[in-house]
Amino acid sequence: MSPRLKLLGIAAACAAPVVLATLAYYFDWAPRSAGNYGELIEPRTLKGAPFDDLRGKWVFVTFDPGACDEYCARKLYYMRQTRKAQAKEQLRIERLWVVLDGAPPRAELTELVHGVRLAAPDAGWVNAFPGRREDHIYLVDPLGNLMMRFPRDPEPKLIIKALQRLLKYSRIG
């Protein structure tokens, strides 16, 4: 190989990162995904029962009447399966069902609600949850801050992945 070709090869190898970075900047080749699933909410601290008892745990929260229609049952199922998918980390996660009408859950939901904490809505914290509350599954961090909500028809695999990431990098809860 001639010395001239060697010199051109070295120059090309040194110039390539600069050229590629310039092209990426001008053609806007940045990734489009933020990397998280769910909508981040400006943190709001939740005080009072039942959140004081759940400090130190990640908490899924859902709002539904005790009669619990098909959509409600699906949300409860997603919360249960997402928790189970975390394997040994599932002990760091709790589930809370805020029963809007105070009615007891239907008998056929016993498997879905096994281990779910039930609570009545409290005017002190219920207004901290944005949007139409029955449409979402919310996530509260171990410090008691409402921090995220998942879309109306969530993708369970993406919830699992998002929660795995949170549990991996969180030193609390």
The ranges assigned to domains in the chain are: 1-30, 39-169
pLDDT given at position 35: 66
pLDDT for 127-170, tens place per residue?
A: 999 999 999 999 999 999 999 999 999 999 999 999 999 999 98
User: What's the pLDDT tens digit per position in 52-81?
Assistant: 999 999 999 999 999 999 999 999 999 999
Supply the pLDDT for residue 131: 93
DSSP per residue, the chain: --HHHHHHHHHHHHHHHHHHHHHHHHTT------S--SEEEEEEE--STTTTTTTTSEEEEEEE-TT--HHHHHHHHHHHHHHHTTGGGGGGEEEEEEETT-PPPPGGGHHHHTT-EEE---TTTGGGS-S-GGG-EEEE-TTSEEEEEE-SS--HHHHHHHHHHHHHH----
Report whether pLDDT(111) > 60: yes
CATH for 39-169, options being 3.90.1720.10, 3.40.30.10, 3.40.50.300, 1.10.40.30: 3.40.30.10
pLDDT for 64 equals 95
Name the pLDDT band for 97 (thresholds 50, 70, 90). Answer: very high
- pLDDT over 70 at 33, yes or no: no
